[in-house]
Structure 1
Amino acid sequence: MNDMLKTTPDFSIDAAAALLAEHYGLSGTLSPLASERDQNFKVETAEGVFILKIVNAAEPEAESDFQTALLAHIGTHAGDLPVPHIRPTLAGASLAHTTSASGVGHRIRLVSWVDGQPLAETGRSDTALESLGRLLGRFDAALKGFMHPGALRDLDWDIRKAGRSAERLQHIASAEDRALLDRFLKRFAAIAPRLATLRAAVIHNDANDWNVLVDAADHDRISGLIDFGDALYAPLIAEVAIAAAYAGLDHADPIGAAAAIVRGFNAEYPLLEEEVDLLYDLIAIRLVTSVTMSASRHAHTGSNPYLAISERPAWTLLRKLDRMNPRFATAIMRKACGFEAVPGARRVTDWIARNRKALAPLLERPAATYPAALVPYGDPEHPMTVKSAVQQPDEAQAIWQAHCRDNGIALGIGPWGEERSVYAGEMFVSRFIEKTRRTRHLGLDLFMAAGTKVFTPLPATVVSVEIEEDPLGYGCLIALRHEPEGCPPFTSLWGHLAHEAMHRLTPGERLEAGALVGEMGAPAENGGWAPHLHLQLSTDTSLSATEILGVGEPRYLDVWAELFPDARTFGGIAEEFYERQGRSHEEIVALRRELLLPNLSISYDKPIKFVRGEGVWLIDDGGRAYLDCFNNVCHIGHAHPAVVEAMAKQAATLNTNTRYLHDNIVAYAERLTATLPKELTVAGFVNSGSEANSLALRLMRAHTGRENAITLDWSYHGTTQELIDISPYKFRRKGGKGRKPHVHVAAVPDSYHAPADWPAEEHGRRFAESVAELIAAMQARGEAPGFFIAESIPSVAGQVFLPQGYLKEVYRLVREAGGVCIADEVQVGFGRVGSHWWAFETQGVVPDIVTMGKPIGDGHPLAAVVTTREVTDSFDNGMEYFNTFGGNPVSCAVGLAVLDTIEKEDLRGNALAIGNHLMDAFRDMQKRHAVIGDVRGLGLFLGIELVTDRTTRAPATAFARAVCNGARRRGVLMGTEGPHDNVLKMRPPMIFSRRDADHLIAVLEETFADVEKALG
């Protein structure tokens, strides 16, 4: 140390002025500047303002040459950078030489003055610090490829040598402070070997807030970078770390300050993830170097303000850093560069979004099926929030329960990201930002009664099960690790649970999807809150359960969003819950009355506004999901990806009419007819089931020349007038004009309501006698039937399954009389019965004409007629048949996608298996509920007839409607059919799973019990 003092220049102002005149021919006013090793003077002359530097004699000549070469390089390659520029001597040299009175030789350099105010004297706004980062990035980018022997020096300020600070710990008086520094030194020792693998270059190495200047009139703009005395060859990231360390001194948000510098630097000189991941430790170790250097030199330098100027704030910042979680600090700085807060974070959220349909329900049934509402924790004035804030959870719970009762709410939701004033304890004080609280909720809260069971949506390994005793803590807290295929591992956190899980779950235990995690705890064991589950995800699996932040700072919400992503999809909450869009229900109803046909009906007393369909679910505008067991149009599920893709791809390529050649129409006709008996070979394409049945009547007339129709009572075949005329369901009800003379109505072949004295094996023949009588009556008048038409399973009549042998006998009778037989498969075709492609096949018959619609296009307007060559030849009478949209390329592409999906996913097999499971469950219910008179179904075409008395079989219409509405309130859609609306009608999508079926069964059980209790 004494040797260094001997080499430090000590020239008077007059002596320095003489040197200025001698070597540069300049005169002016000189004033000394603070410096650690050299002697600096500000020189104000008529030619401008300069800095005269008299270099410490101990500095090797190579180092002086290095600084000179560095500044010269910058001047050549980035002359616009606001840094000092060398003023040559009178002899044209970059350096001058002189000798002190004591005979010590010194070098002299004169550089231009960079105007500005030290950054240390300003507020160091984010804008200013980002500007600093940009300047350093440009500076270091300009030095790419620059090297000089003087840059390869041994300097304690070289961040790679920061481990030497351990040797200076002896100068730290406080044992607590030594322990603090030792913790950072140990962290540095762990990462030090990685520094040698990073990018290295010549850097400034000392961008402290006194060496950085801002515009005096605009403190947000960096105006200069000075003092290159510590420049050297080092890891590039050290430049950022050093600037960030000094920017964080006395800063309310030191990591935010670092992030601003990182953001600016990265914009000019892109950083690598492995560099940013070391920043927290490099910032800390620079501060460790600073305070240990200051402590070791203090005795020799006395009151030298330059050495001591940052000591106090450096200690303060080190203590702040010690209280922070390094993972969070790193995440903030990674995010500033545009990197993921933690590697793989976005892949986790993407995987969950893509696989959401496969997740098991978190509650006993899918969360989105419960009528839900926001819990008012985001409203600081709400009584529930006030009660919770002052720790009156029982009162808060009572307020919420009353609200739920009054509004029919079963589930309360506390959303991710919500601002909550309720977080008032000391535990919610920010460790990053001074005088700031953590107020943004980072989990998903689900509020239900204490004891409500919660289940894991994915297979998991139990990481930890613990009790957090602190008031406002989590109570029982469980962490699970998930490692789904194709996804980075992630953690789910389950808080505020009952303590029972402590005795049931063990760390390391494996849980399958759908396994019980725990139960929502009562206030006495859940941390003092109204009963609820705090569900949270963490994409950083290195964090322990208690390290995962449940509440975060608003400033870093974008960072927390990647570290702790919203668990709404994982928990099964629909996006629509959070934001309603479009018109209100009342407005739509009013506009329908004003703008649409007044007899266009709306389902349910309280209409539903659906905004999205997905698989077996329909989602309303409030985010509630309804299990769709009724709308058989979407045969293979709402918005099936294969259908959507086929439709979009073909629509983006070509759509036109059938007068032009195209592969799709013949390919589809070929595929469709291949599913039918060999006699049915010719197809015609239309747009709806009504069009299909109308075309079937044209085919029939051309072939038979007749009009007489035989139709089943209570049947329905379409919306056109000629189809209403053959639909007793329409013409015999309100607004109908009764039966036309050419229409003849046969009895519905309903075995459940057959006369008691008919043997079951004779039902088919006995019901067929009704048709025989109609034909005989026609023939007695000299007439004959043109056709017989029937749904292969009469649907509107009440899901009636034809008795065995019925169609075989009727078809024989009709054909013998010269008529044709039409099978209406608009509702029941395409494998819905499971055992066969077409429901008529279950009767062992082959119709002359088959009509198809509804399920054929999975919601796309497509329909078809398939008939025999013989009927087709009769229709080919010279009159052109043309349908503008029927058989267009897009519709046929959709039809092909539906057939492909049915075959590839074996949906017929699925329909049969799930249908049998449902039938078994319905028959089991029938044993316990006297109101169930008959259970009937095949595949996924099902009916339950409800009666007031099983002997008389009188219809229980009110009960059926109550069940239908009760199921709707519980999130399941079904209908009622039959002449008395007493048959529960279910036609779920073909992708209906065992889990979906069990959900339907559970809802029916619950609904039946409630209706029985209400109606007696």
Structure 2
Amino acid sequence: MADSALLQRTELARPSVTVEDAKSILSDCFGLHGSISELGSQQDRNFLIDTGEEKLVLKVTRAEYPRHELEAQNRAMEHLFQMELGIRIPEPIASLTGEHVSHFEINGDHYWVRVLTYLDGEPLTRQKHLPVEVVAELGDIGAKIALGLSDFRHHGLDRVLQWDLRRAGPVALHLLKSLKDQKQRDRIAKAMIVAVKRLQPLAPELRVQPIHHDITDDNVVALLNADGHAIPDGVIDFGDIMNGWLVADLAVTCAALLHHADGDPFFILPAVQAFHARYPLLPSELKALWPLIVARAGILVASSEQQLAIDPDNNYVLGNIGHEREIFDLATSVPYALMEAAIFDAAGLPLPDAMPFITSRLLPALVPEDVRLTDLSVTSDALTGDNWADPEIDWKLLARAALETGIASTRFGEYRLSYTKPRSSQPPATFALHVDICLPAGTAAKAPFAGTILIDGHHLILSTKDMSLHLDGIDTALEHKQHVSAGELIGHVSGAAGSVGGLRVQMCRDPDLVPPLFAKPRQSRIWAWLCPSPSLLLGADVDAPETHSTELLQTRRAHFAAAQKNYYVNPPQIERGWREHLFDVHGRCYLDMVNNVSILGHGHPRLAAAAGRQWSLLNTNSRFHYSAVAEFSERLAALAPPGLDTVFLVNSGSEAVDLAIRLAWAHSGRRNILSLLEAYHGWTVASDAVSTSIADNPGALESRPDWVRPILSPNTYRGRFRGRNASEGYIAAAVEELARIDESGAGLAGFIAESPFGNAGGIPLPPGYLEAIYAMVRERGGLCIADEVQVGYGRLGHHFWGFEEQNVVPDIITIAKGMGNGQPLGAVITRREIADSLENEGYFFSSSGGSPVSCVVGMEVLDVMRDENLQANARDVGDHLKSRLMGLMDDFPIVGAIHGLGLYLGLEFVRDRESLEPATLETAAICNRLLDLGVIMQPTGDHLNVLKIKPPLCLSRESADYFVDMIQKVLSEGW
């Protein structure tokens, strides 16, 4: 039994001390004065004091706690403070009598009182999401404190405390007496019994030393860095310090992390790895870690439930009990064997892999060469369109293969596309831990090793103390708990004679566990160890090939020019798409909110069929005479305003802009091009020259050729002139530059601009702006170029072309991106006389521009856009999406503005809505967090603080809502 004093302490309420009492204590004992407010605590009373010069904490403890225990806490803080660990530690403040622990009496009750320095910062418990770096830092802080205390000695550390995990069993049983919820009481009791049973044989090997025993998200404070991340750097509340198991210190930290884990117990592993790297744990301690976490979770819930029975108005306990129940639920939801293996792996210790006990084959009649393996992976040719969403597709494809070959099997360790989940914030379990085999009914199955037969309905298990074999689809005459020898007949594959039967095979190293059929990708390597491949007992290789994303990324970086960047530092390997969804090789589905190239969406069957057919007929260059180039040119010209009747076909938007500039030069006979600051137009020499976005080229403003004449960007949100009535100021700025060009005598060739200001997130140009600029340019003989590569072609929903919003007609239109849905395809549309001007400089030719395949693809894109009403969808879903994004502004000050129209929107993040200081670092972190939640998004704009939202035009309302929900989740929980 636990010490009676311990059990009595568990029933103590907090000291009955008011703020007025605290003022008296502060004045009488410490000679201090200041504003006072109460802080939370479970069994103490804590008050924050602001003297005007410094902040302090007054701690009031019941006299039932021995004074020497409080003195031990003070000495430990002083000990660690002097060690300069790089961690902020509170310092005890002496009373007027020179004591650090003083006695005080209030209304006949006796208390111990202390004052400590206050550590500025936010407790991590207020931030629901913790980045992996913060999780690791918590583990490292715990190790530093434990190392710092390893040589500390004080008789006050030998104490009896309800949080001492060495006494978890009896303490839990005592606490559970106060629980009225029988179901909850039984759950906690059962979990504690199992945890203690696993700990008992390990206890003699667990090291004992002074430990803080409460390094949790409540007791580690953090300061915000430049990107808004909370960086833990201070440890408070030494109230639980004691001599205890070293590994219990880490267990307490890990348990606290579970309510930040979003259902993933592997979330704690960076903390384990960091702790072990600084203060190595013994194998027995690593083995004890998860049972200790479960025990801690049980004590937390039981203690809070009991404390509320005593002190129902304790807001501190009321505020924490939801977290504690979440911790307990997650801690008890996963097998011990899985977490033990994951912890050992995180610590860098090897896991045993040999299986010498398999001495014969499960299906002796199976000829390995006859087994047809069915590909159900993300790249499977058998998965077409959206048939992966059919819940029966795996069995359909397996049965089809079996009919063709006689015997077919699924693959172990395969990430199956059929188990993906669109619009899911958590990666689904896609990794197969079993195989399904279609083979002749009646095929004999024999025991591959000696063991005991367990029968649960149609489920047969062959079990030993080290391994279990799970079989479904076996008819057996054996009895439950019957022992069989290796090679002994255990049954036959179910089914009528002459038919095909189905057999499911799965192995598990934990004989007490009924394993899941699939594992989540992050957990797959450990689950694959716990549930090893059945290839050895089948005598046939049924393993799927491993994915090698990391190695492929290294190959890319070794041979692909570094200037060709990829999204994200550690990008997922995307190998498939469907509509607005992308799939990585692990079956994770991502909502694609950036891919304006795939205007129809990914994997469109009509587009694939059209391109495939044309490839099978002809693909060459546009010097040959074929129907597609004529038909497509005619259709493009019909989309433009009257008079713009001549088309050039090219490969890309950059090439289109480059050509447009050449046309302006050729037609005007002059060189100067007026362009906008902060704009982006492409990467060829000419298109890059008129691009002044410093996000794309940090040296853009210093490296423009003389013929580029940039003018003030008409950014109506953060520019010099703001709001929709800013036209006059921006037009005046253009007049000044035009005057300088006039004065130089060099003349003007043209003006280029995106119609909405796309690079800044689709900010609309002020009313009348283009009309005025176009008029002044044309007065000087220049041409007006509308860069519609990003913003045009139906994306704005309310207009097909962006320039329509400004009620102008350009002289040249450049388009690309979505017009080919990913096929290299761009175009310039202009007037015949402008196009003819280029012939004075010779002919123009683009090797792949206007090829038969590109033209057919381009026409099919237009057909699909018409048939599926994609421009209308961009309007309707875009308006809904913008409305929901606007709603975020009410709750999150970081949301500065929502720009754009249709499905070309910009969500701009700022640190201050008055100064408009860009939240650049925060935006990058938010994008990384969105990736974790299954959303592809990237920052843009000169300050990289804008989410440029430009998904496929088939975006559904459901997907739009999911996108906003995930942004809201990130802004609420942190990044």
Answer with 1 or 2: which has the greater Rg: 1
Relative to the length of structure 2, the TM-score reads 0.48
* Higher relative contact order (Cα pairs below 8 Å, separated by 6+ residues): 2
Relative to the length of structure 1, the TM-score reads 0.46
